[in-house]
């Protein structure tokens, strides 16, 4: 199943799509492949406990609401910035309007006092024709200056009217967004409470340490199955020149998220009966999770025991895995650069602890991530 998915991923979802029609066709096929692998994961989930199924449902709903909330906050910031910019421009235009009014008023007063007497005097006194011409040109110039000032004042008044309309429209938008934010925040908090309840139910479903051990082993087996399918397909179908791997970047890669290491690679898990295949980095909920190197996303979905997971292929057998995320920011087929956000950290998958679960694998075998990060 995963082989079909990744074959299509590399055969159809590359950046080298020839034209729009072809790209749309390739995207349609890719989506069908993604749907197929998701159905397989759903079938696997159906065999799990109700508590595990509930955790997945809540994790996905929480991710959706949190993504919406993040977008709402972004739009609120944009609206506030726009409002601030409009208000600054409004202040500037009001000051300009007053200057233009004063200048025009001064010109009109001068014109009123002078009237047309100067023109009459010039004609009656039979002054030098050249001087008459210069004076008439001067008066035409003053006339045109007044006309220009009137037009500029009209433009300023029109812009002020537009600014006022934009301010009112932005204020309405801002009010709507703030109301939506309150609703989304409330929904987010309710889902977090449900998430905690589901986690407690999952813990209660383990009658003994052995049942907990069995669950953890099944989680690792499912992840290993996905990894094996990915590795097999990449060896068979991935373009050999597309990605150069990580071999030249040992001890040079950036940390995927800020935080301290809570569980180290190879340390004991559940007593001494299992070992950690990656590291758990303690981070704040919602912190951005960054790709450690250039690559292509080959998995972005919920996986039992690991929550919302992103797997990035770096080529030459190297994969990086980012688990228990709060939200996913990339989809299968997306190309990412080093340092680019791929998710936000959280506690999905029933971990009960905010942070990022991070692995690096080479030819399917877990590596010590700390040896690769500087």
Greater confidence, 30 or 44? 44
By DSSP bridging, strand 355-362 and strand 279-282 are antiparallel
Tokens 């972005």 correspond to 300
The confidence band for 35, taking pLDDT boundaries of 50, 70 and 90, is low
Helix (H) or strand (E) holding 336: strand 335-336
Note whether 278 and 266 are within 8 A (CB): no
Quick one: pLDDT band at residue 3, thresholds 50, 70, 90?
very low
Q: Are 292 and 373 in contact (CB under 8 A)?
A: yes
Confidence of residue 114 (pLDDT cuts 50, 70, 90): low
Mean pLDDT over residues 116-138, rounded?
56
Could you read off the pLDDT of 334-371 as tens digits, one per residue?
889 999 999 999 999 888 789 999 999 999 899 999 99
Q: In this predicted structure, what is the pLDDT of residue 236?
A: 60
pLDDT tens by residue, 57-105: 999 999 999 999 999 999 999 999 999 999 999 999 999 999 888 887 8
What residues contact residue 355 under an 8 Å CB cut-off, 6+ apart? Answer: 259, 262, 280, 281, 282, 283, 324, 345, 347
Alpha carbon distance 168, 333 (integer Å): 42
Beta-strand relationship, 307-315 and 335-336? unpaired
Q: Residue 353 to residues 60, 238, 254, 348: CA-CA distances in angstroms? A: 17, 36, 23, 9
d(CA 374, CA 160): 55
Lowest mean pLDDT among 47-51, 53-57, 146-150, 369-373: 47-51
**Quick one: which of 245, 278, 258, 273 has its CA closest to 351?**
278
Single out the residue of 350, 326, 223, 202 nearest to residue 274, CA to CA: 223
Determine contact, residues 293/329, Cβ cutoff 8 Å. no
H or E stretch including 323? strand 318-328
Task: Give how far Cα 57 sits from Cα of 285, 307, 338, 353, Å.
Answer: 19, 11, 31, 18
Helix (H, G, I), strand (E, B) or coil at 65: helix
**Inter-helix orientation angle 129-204/50-114, to 10°:** 170
pLDDT in tens, 281-304: 999 999 999 999 999 888 899 998
CA distance 176 to 173: 5
Taking the whole predicted model, whether its pTM rises above 0.85 is answered as: no
Grade residue 4 by pLDDT with cuts at 50, 70 and 90: very low
**pLDDT tens-digit profile of 195-218?**
888 888 877 776 665 677 887 888
**SS3 of residue 288 by DSSP:** strand
């Amino acid at each position: 199943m995963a082989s079909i998915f990744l074959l299509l991923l590399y055969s159809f979802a590359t950046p080298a799509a020839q034209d729009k029609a072809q790209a749309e066709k390739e995207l349609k096929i890719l989506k069908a492949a993604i749907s197929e692998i998701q159905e397989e994961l759903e079938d696997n989930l159906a065999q799990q406990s109700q508590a595990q199924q509930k955790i997945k449902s809540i994790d996905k709903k929480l991710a959706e609401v949190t993504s919406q909330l993040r977008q709402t906050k972004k739009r609120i910031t944009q609206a506030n910035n726009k409002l601030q910019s409009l208000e600054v421009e409004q202040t500037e235009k009001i000051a300009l309007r007053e200057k233009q009014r004063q200048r025009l008023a001064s010109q009109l007063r001068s014109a009123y006092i002078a009237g047309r007497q100067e023109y009459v005097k010039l004609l009656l006194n039979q002054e030098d024709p050249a001087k008459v011409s210069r004076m008439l040109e001067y008066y035409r110039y003053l006339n045109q200056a007044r006309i220009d000032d009137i037009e500029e004042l009209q433009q300023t008044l029109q812009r002020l009217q537009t600014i006022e309309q934009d301010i009112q429209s932005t204020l309405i938008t801002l009010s709507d967004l703030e109301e939506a934010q309150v609703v989304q925040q409330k929904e987010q908090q309710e889902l977090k409470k449900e998430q905690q309840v589901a986690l407690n139910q999952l813990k209660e479903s383990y009658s003994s340490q052995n049942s907990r051990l069995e669950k953890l082993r099944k989680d690792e087996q499912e992840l290993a199955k996905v990894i094996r399918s990915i590795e097999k397909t990449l060896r068979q179908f991935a373009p050999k020149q597309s990605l150069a791997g990580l071999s030249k970047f040992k001890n040079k890669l950036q940390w995927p998220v800020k935080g301290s290491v809570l569980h180290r690679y190879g340390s004991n898990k559940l007593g001494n009966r299992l070992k950690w295949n990656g590291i758990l980095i303690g981070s704040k909920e919602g912190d951005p999770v960054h790709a450690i190197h250039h690559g292509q996303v080959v998995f972005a979905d919920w996986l039992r025991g690991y929550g919302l997971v992103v797997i990035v292929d770096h080529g030459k057998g190297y994969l990086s895995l980012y688990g228990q995320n709060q939200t996913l920011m990339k989809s299968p087929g997306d190309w990412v650069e080093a340092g680019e956000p791929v998710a936000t950290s959280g506690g999905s998958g029933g971990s009960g602890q905010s942070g990022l679960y991070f692995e690096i694998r080479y030819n399917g075998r877990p590596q010590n991530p700390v040896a690769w990060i500087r």
